[in-house]
Amino acid sequence: MAIRFIDLRSDTITQPTPDMRQAMAVAAVGDDVLGDDPTVAALEEEVAAVLGKDKALFVPSGTMANLIAVRAHTEPGDEILLDANSHIYFYESGGLAAISGAMPRCVQGRRGIFGAKDLDPLLRPADAHFPPTRLVCMENTHNRGGGSIWPLETMREVAAFARGHHLRSHLDGARLWNACVATQIPESDYAACCDSVSVCFSKGLGAPVGSALAGGNDFILRARRFRKQVGGGMRQAGIIAAGALHALRHHRDRLSEDHANARALAKGLGHMRGISFNPEEVETNIVRFEVESMSAGRLVEQLSQKGVLMLATGAKTVRAVTHLMVSSDDIEAALRILEELLEKAPHDHDDSLRTEK
C-alpha cells in the first residue's frame, strides 16, 4: 500500500482547494500585458489596498518580485544592504547581481533581524572608490531566521534610518501574512515602513502560482517594464490570478492554524532526546532544529522512509514548515515517528544541504 506522506518540507507544496479551483475555472481573462485582464486588475487593486500602496504588480514568483524590486530601485553598480541569510541574497541564484548589477553588502542580523545601529557602520562615504549605497532590504517573516517576525518598531527604526540617509527600502514579505496574523498588526502598517513590498500567494495562502510587488505609481510603472524584460509578462493570467485572489480573501485568517501546529511540533521536539532546540523561537509556521545524535541528512532520509518529509538545510539543521495541508493529527504522527527514530539513532556525518523556499 502506498505511503501517505506528511509533507513538512515547505508551505510551497500546498495545492488549491476545491473552491479555489472553481474560482480559477470561471475566471474572466484577457491579455494582461496589454492591460486587458480584469481578474489580474482586481487582484492588483486589492493587494495595493491591503498593503496601503498606490499600485501592485502581479508576477509569477516571489523571486521575480524581489528581482524586479531591486532592479527598479537601483542602477548597475549600486550597493544594497541586506541580512546575510536573507532570501534575496541566499536563495535567488545571484539574480540581484546578474539582472540588477547590484552589489550586496551583508548585515549580520539576529535571526534575520537588524537595527539602524547595524547599518550605520556599513554606509559608504561619498568617494569614487566605493559603490553608492542605494537600498536596504528587510524580510518579514524571515525564512532562515525560523519564521522570525520583525518587531514593527525595529522596522520603523530601519526605515527612518534609510530615509535619513536618502536610501530606498524594500520588504520581502513572502510570508508577511504570517507575521500579521501572529501579531494582529495590519499588513499596511508593516508595508508603510518601506518604499516597496513583495508578497506571495503560493506559500501559506495556498494558491498554485503567483506573487505581487507593491509600491508607488512611478515605481510600479518602472517595475512593469522590468517584469516584461525578464519574461514575467503573462497573457490570460486571470486563471492563476483568480487563485491568488481567492487565497487573499479567504486563506489569511486560517494561518493561525498553521502557527498552532508549528507550536505543537515545537513543544514535542522540546522533549526529545538528541534535539537541540528552543521552542520559544517558533513564532509562525517554520520550525528549525539541530540534530545532535545523527546528521540532518540521515534523519531526513529515515523520516521519508516512514512517510514524513522535512528538509535538511545544513549538516545538523532540519526545517519543518506547517501549512494548510497538514493537520494536528499529522503533527502528532510526525512526532511519534521522529521520536522513534531518534531513540535508536546512530552517530554519523552527512553534510547534505537542501534548498528551502
Question: What pLDDT digit, counting tens, does each position of 217-247 carry?
Answer: 999 999 999 999 999 999 999 999 999 999 9
Q: What is the pLDDT of residue 4?
A: 84
- Sequence ranges of the domains in the chain: 16-250, 254-343
CATH entry, 254-343, from 3.40.50.300, 3.10.450.50, 3.90.1150.10, 3.30.360.10: 3.90.1150.10
Angle (nearest 5°) at CA 252 between 19 and 262: 110
**Residue 3: is its pLDDT beyond 90?**
no
- Grid cell listed for 187: 499588513
pTM of the predicted protein model: 0.94
Largest CA distance in the chain: 68
Position 73, amino acid: H
Q: Is the pLDDT of residue 13 over 80?
A: yes
Q: Which residues contact 259 (CB under 8 A, 6 or more apart)?
A: 178, 181, 182, 283, 284, 285, 322
- Other beta carbons within 10 angstroms of residue 250's beta carbon come to 15
Task: With cut-offs at 50, 70 and 90, classify the pLDDT of residue 354.
Answer: low
Flag whether pLDDT at 350 surpasses 70: no
Percent residues over pLDDT 70 in the chain: 96
Res. 355: pLDDT tops 60: no
pLDDT, residue 353, reads 47
What mean pLDDT do residues 1-19 have?
A: 91
Compute the residue count for the chain: 357
Closest by CA position to 272, among listed 257, 293, 245, 301: 293
Question: Is there a common fold for 16-250 and 254-343?
Answer: no
Mean pLDDT of 264-275: 94
How confident is residue 141, by pLDDT bands cut at 50, 70 and 90? very high
Q: So what's the pLDDT on residue 351?
A: 44
pLDDT of 178 over the 50 cut: yes
Cell numbers at 208, concatenated? 498554485
Contact in structure between 318 and 296 (CB atoms under 8 Å): yes
For the chain, the average pLDDT equals 95
CA–CA separation, 106 vs 122, rounded Å? Answer: 9
Is pLDDT of 22 > 50?
yes
pLDDT digit string, tens, across residues 165-175: 999 999 999 99
Write the class of the CATH domain 16-250: alpha beta
